[in-house]
């Protein structure tokens, strides 16, 4: 027998409906065929499921006993042609005619349950592969997000590096206040153009409806709002900002926690601040 033929026996085997010689042959094939072994496992699993589902078509113990008896009798009575050429094997008489209706009924039950097994196995495989596909999509999406974040970060790092090398660059260190003692930040900006870059670390994660807001506080004037931002798990953020003309000399830069839409004037606690000039 070929692999394909053994495969057709798997459902019957999962239902214990093979005769001894078929079962033996299949068992030998299973020893060398991982694909059939895997499929049989699935069939048995599906058969277990059916047993719990109490499908009316599934044969009960008594019916199963009768099926086995019939199957055995049938295989005994089945005319066999010898492999040796020329040898004629006498035909045994068929099973009594009155047996046929019940045999057919039972065979139909077996075939139906076997069909059911196949359907369940395929349905589960399809379900599994669809779940796998969905998971792959999710992984791909998150990897693309990650890649985009890294690209953005790299671009900003390059921008920051260029700014650090500019002769007009001004660096300001921001220290964490009592509210965020582990936080620190660096604000670098071009005094001519006002283009600036803020790099933070150690800031606590902002609540869902809140975000950090940058404030430029020119000496003797009211705070001027800058960018809003949130931080990653390490409290890091890297954002660009525009320093208002009034704040390019002698200003303090501070970070507060504000409602996400932003505030016109600081309302929350100060997390980071440059030293007063
Ligand atoms: Zn096989």
* Digit-coded pLDDT (tens) for 57-78: 445 566 556 555 655 554 454 4
Q: pLDDT (tens digit, 9 = 90+) per residue, 90-125?
A: 444 444 444 455 556 666 667 777 777 777 777 777
- Cα(39) to ligand 1 centroid in Å equals 9
- Cα(134) to ligand 1 centroid in Å equals 30
Q: Which of 188, 186, 181, 199 is nearest to 236 (CA)?
A: 199
Residue partners of 55: CB distance under 8 A and separation at least 6: 113, 116
Q: Which of 245, 244, 250 is nearest to 275 (CA)?
A: 250
- Cα(30) to ligand 1 centroid in Å equals 7
pLDDT at 182 over 60: yes
pLDDT at 213 over 90: yes
Q: pLDDT (tens digit, 9 = 90+) per residue, 21-62?
A: 889 999 999 999 999 999 888 888 877 766 655 444 445 566
- Cα(32) to ligand 1 centroid in Å equals 8
Q: d(Cα 156, Cα 240) in Å, to the nearest integer?
A: 8
Q: Which of 178, 277, 201, 263 is nearest to 227 (CA)?
A: 263
**68 CB-contact burial (10 Å; exposed 0-12 / middle 13-18 / buried 19+):** middle
- Cα(108) to ligand 1 centroid in Å equals 25
- Cα(65) to ligand 1 centroid in Å equals 28
Mean pLDDT on 154-160:
75
- Cα(10) to ligand 1 centroid in Å equals 9
- Cα(78) to ligand 1 centroid in Å equals 25
- Cα(31) to ligand 1 centroid in Å equals 9
Residue 66 confidence (pLDDT):
59
Query: Cβ distance 195 to 189 under 8 Å?
Result: yes
């Amino acid at each position: 027998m070929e692999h394909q033929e053994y495969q057709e026996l798997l459902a019957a085997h999962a239902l214990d409906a093979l005769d001894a010689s078929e079962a033996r042959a299949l068992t030998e094939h299973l020893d060398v065929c991982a694909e059939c072994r895997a499929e049989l496992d699935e069939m048995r699993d599906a058969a277990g499921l059916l047993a719990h589902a109490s499908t009316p078509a599934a044969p009960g113990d008594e019916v199963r006993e009768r099926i086995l008896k019939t199957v055995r009798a049938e295989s005994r009575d089945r005319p066999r042609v010898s492999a040796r050429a020329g040898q004629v094997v006498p035909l045994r008489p068929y099973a009594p005619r009155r047996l046929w209706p019940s045999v057919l009924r039972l065979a139909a039950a077996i075939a139906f349950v076997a069909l059911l097994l196949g359907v369940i196995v395929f349905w589960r495989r399809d379900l599994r592969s669809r779940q796998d596909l969905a998971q792959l999509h999710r992984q791909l999406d998150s990897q693309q997000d990650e890649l985009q974040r890294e690209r953005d970060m790299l671009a900003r790092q390059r921008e920051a590096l260029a700014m650090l090398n500019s002769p007009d660059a001004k660096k300001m260190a921001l220290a964490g206040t009592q509210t965020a003692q582990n936080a620190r930040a660096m604000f670098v900006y071009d005094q001519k153009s006002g283009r600036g870059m803020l790099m933070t670390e150690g800031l606590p994660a902002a609540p869902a409806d809140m975000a950090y807001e940058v404030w430029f506080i020119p000496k003797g004037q009211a705070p001027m709002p800058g960018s809003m931002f949130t931080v990653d798990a390490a409290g890091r953020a890297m954002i660009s900002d525009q320093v208002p003309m009034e704040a390019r000399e002698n200003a303090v830069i501070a970070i507060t926690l504000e409602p996400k839409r932003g505030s016109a004037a600081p309302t929350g606690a100060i997390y980071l601040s440059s030293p007063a000039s």
